[in-house]
Structures are given as structure tokens and as C-alpha cells.
Amino acid sequence: MLACLDMDAFFASVEEASNPKLKGKPIAVIGAKERTVVTTCSYAARRLGVKTGMSKFEALKVCPQLTLVVGNNRKYTYVSKEIMQYLTTITPDVEVYSIDEAFINLDSLDFDPESFAYIVKTHIYKKFKITCSIGVGPNKFIAKLASTVFKPDGYCFIKDNEIINFIDSFELKALWGIGSRLAKKLNNMGIFNTADLRAYGKEKLCKVFGKNGEYLYKMACGVYEELANKKKTSVKSIGHSMTLLENNPSVDRCYNYLLQVSEMVSNRARTHKLSGKTICLCVRYANFEGVAKRYTLPFFTSATHHIYDASLDLFNQIATPEKNIRQLGVTLSGLLEKTVMYSNIFDRKNWKSIYKAVDSINKKFGSSAITYASVLNCERRGALTISPAWKPSGIRYINVK
Ligand code: TTP
Ligand code: MG
């Protein structure tokens, strides 16, 4: 039996807990920039029409009494780490799935799922004054869906004989891996819910969707073959470093190289369907000295612009450009398999189509066939020398000498 724990309105709840004046009020957590969007909002705000992803102006329009709070990622990562750490004191079989979600394998516990939920909810509320919702089911898919039904502060346990009725009560889009485009395609095939998927049949689905057809069919039967903690990635990091040809490169030239190396790392992440959270920058000087520093983002990414922004910040914090920089290396770690993240809620546009177009052009015409204009300033264009042998489980760090 698996439990899925998902914090309720996580960032907003942490803000309410740290400022009693906000308690129970409609609040939205936003970013610091002028053209920012709502990353989440309290349930009081949701009842008044505020939604994640709205611009702050839109949100204030639908709910003029809304209090906007600029998010503080440190608070959220601290609370998240504490909660995840607490869960591992109950059982080691915990998979941290996102900043506010975890799967917990309940099989080795001495108490029933309801007692587990009660104990965990009480602890989290006592310690942080925030609530969570817990879904329990035979697999991750059912547990995750169950965690959503009685939000906030919910608990839902789906027994084996209830699975089919339970999944049939959701729209196709609520199922894992079914986005709006796939849902539309299924609708055009006369499939509107999981009952229709089952009736369509596994073989016919496989004819249309290949291997994914089997996945869809199994999901429509409530089957999801994976247990908590089984999906660890075999790759720990993707790194790339580059020895610069220029002597005493200017800061601007270092930025150009940094962009290039960031692009090489993120391109490999996208190619191998990985995303990561931690960016590490390593700077080496002509005298063989070096410095390195890492930074963990509050989200997973496979996007060049996120990796570049983080490495640029790190560069500005640790590098001494007067010391004749000889080598720059960027590594992405904290990886998640089978997930390509092109954009996040803080981005003003959806980068997916741009990255997809760039990646497919480079795949067809050779790496670096299309790249950022400022990368052309670099004397060395290393993407040409990426080892073709790189695999997720193979070479993890490539230094372009
Ligand atoms: P969610 O669990 O999706 O949302 P939530 O916890 O705010 O609300 P719910 O009660 O429905 O679970 O996301 C967890 C946190 O992650 C959320 O509080 C804010 C952050 N977040 C982003 O930064 N960007 C996003 O696009 C989303 C969806 C969430
Ligand atoms: Mg949540």
C-alpha cells in the first residue's frame, strides 16, 4: 500500500503560518519581479476565483481584497526538507516527488493507513501550522489521485475493489501523462473517460499509440507498475566543462562561454529526458587553482536559460576574472528521469516550442548548427566535440579540452 502526501497550498500555507495576520485570508504568493505570476494561493483566495498562473494584475482584478506576498524560497525548502526528513523517521521507504509531495510505502508499518495519516498530519500541523492531504492506494497513480479528492486537509483510502469506480470518476486530463492535446486526440476517437479507454481495448490502443497504448490501457484499469523508491535515476549528474582558448578572457567572454557550456549541459539533459535542480559552477585559473559553488533551484529544469542564469549568479559570486580563467564547468544534478522541463511558472513565456525547434535543427544539422548569437563570440565552440557515446548511464562529465 502506498501513500501520497501533498501539502495544501504549500507556499501560501507557509506564509500564513509565519504571519498570523494572514491566517484564513485570501492570499497569493508571487515572484519578486514586476511582471510576476501567482505561484499558488490560499484556499480562501481560490474560493474567490484566484488561480495559480494568473498575473498579479489578473488576480487582483478577480479578487481586489487579495493580499500579495512575495515568495521566499528558503522558507519553503526548509519546511519541505524538515517534513521529508520527518517522514523517513517513520519508514525509510520514502520517495520525495516534488517540493511538497512524497510517496511513502506503508507495507512495512505496524499501523494502518488511517493511523499513519493521523500521526503525520498531527505532527506537521503541530510543528508548522500547515495542513496536508494524504491519499492511499495500491500504487502511486491511485494514491496521487486519492490525495486530490478531499483537499485541503483531506484523507482518502481507495481499496482494491473501489479502484475502477474511483478512476472512472475523473476526467481523462486528471490521469498521469494525459495532457490536453492527448485528451483531445482521445476525444476525437470517441474516448472521454477511463471506461471508454478500457472498452476501446488494449490492442487497438497499441495500434494507435504504440507502447503508450499499453500504458494508457493499464492506467484505465487502475494498474501502475511501480513502487515507491523504485524510480531512482541511475545518473547522478550531467556536467560539461570547457578549457578556454583565450588568455585572460574578459568577463563578457566568460559569460559567452558560460552560456555555451550551460547550453551543452541542458541540451544533453533534454536529449536524455532528464531535468535537475542543482547547478554547480566550477572555475579554474591558469595557475591551476579553482573554486566551485552549487545552488539548488526551487524547481526542476532542463532549460538553458535557467541553468545559465544560475551559473551566471554563481560566477558573479565566486569567480575572480583578473586571475586568468582557464576553464569553466557547469554540472546539473538532483536529476529526475523521464521529465523534460522547458519552462516554469516564473517564466513569462512557454519555451517548449523554441527548445524543441532548436533541438530538432541541431539533431538534423549537427550540434551548434543553431545557437545563441553571443556564443559565436567564443573561439571554441565545444558542442561540436560532445562525445557521441554519452548515455544517461555512461559518461557523466565531459571536459572539452
Ligand atoms: P502544488 O502542490 O501543485 O500546489 P499547492 O500545494 O500550492 O496547492 P494544492 O493544495 O492544490 O496542492 O505545488 C506546490 C508548490 O509548488 C506551490 O505551493 C507553489 C509551487 N509551485 C510553483 O512554484 N510553480 C508551479 O507552477 C506550481 C504548480 C507550484
Ligand atoms: Mg500541494
**Whether residue 14 is found in the same domain as residue 55:** yes
In a domain, 47, yes or no: yes
Q: What is the pLDDT of residue 374?
A: 81
Alpha-carbon span 375 to 263, nearest angstrom: 10
Residue 280 to residues 52, 265, 288, 331, Cα–Cα distance (Å): 30, 11, 19, 5
Query: What CATH number is attached to the domain comprising 75?
Result: 3.30.70.270
331 and 286 in a common domain = yes
Whole-number Cα distances in Å, 255 to 196, 302, 308, 313, 315: 54, 19, 9, 11, 9
Same domain, 175 and 247: no
Question: Is position 259 within any domain?
Answer: yes
* CA dist 360 → 306, 367, 369 (Å): 20, 10, 10
What is the number of domains present in the chain?
3
pTM comes to 0.62
Using a CB cutoff of 5 Å, list residues around ligand 2, an ion.
Answer: 6-7, 10, 100
Residue written as grid cell 560539461? 240
Among 107, 140, 158, the domain boundary falls at 158
- Catalytic pick from 15, 16, 95, 101? 101
Residue ranges around ligand 1 (CB below 6 Å): 6-11, 39-40, 52, 99-100, 151-152, 344-345
- At 179 the three-state DSSP class reads coil
Q: Candidates 4, 10, 300: which one to mutate for ligand 1, based on the most atoms within 8 Å of Cβ?
A: 10
Q: Are residue 41 and residue 143 in the same domain, yes or no?
A: yes
Length of the chain, please?
A: 401
Structural domain including 358 reads 237-377
Asked if the structure places residue 108 within a domain, the reply is yes
257 and 129 in one domain?
Answer: no
What is the residue-level pLDDT of the chain in tens, covering all 401 positions?
Answer: 999 999 999 999 999 999 999 999 999 999 877 777 898 999 999 999 999 989 899 999 999 999 999 988 888 988 998 999 899 899 988 888 888 999 999 998 888 999 999 999 999 999 999 999 999 999 999 999 999 999 999 999 999 999 999 999 998 988 887 888 889 999 999 999 999 999 999 999 999 988 889 989 999 999 987 644 444 556 788 988 888 878 899 999 999 999 999 999 999 899 888 999 999 999 999 888 899 999 999 889 999 999 999 999 999 999 999 999 999 999 999 999 888 999 877 777 788 999 999 988 888 887 677 888 888 777 665 433 223 223 222 333 443 33
The reply to whether 142 and 60 lie within a common domain is yes
Q: Measure 132 CA to ligand 2 centroid, in angstroms.
A: 8
CA gap 180, 174 in Å, rounded: 10
| Residue at 387 is within a domain | no
Q: Are residues 209 and 358 in the same domain?
A: no
Domain end among 124, 158, 192 = 158
Residues 57 and 194 grouped into a single domain: no
DSSP at 37:
B
Report yes or no on 297 lying in a domain: yes
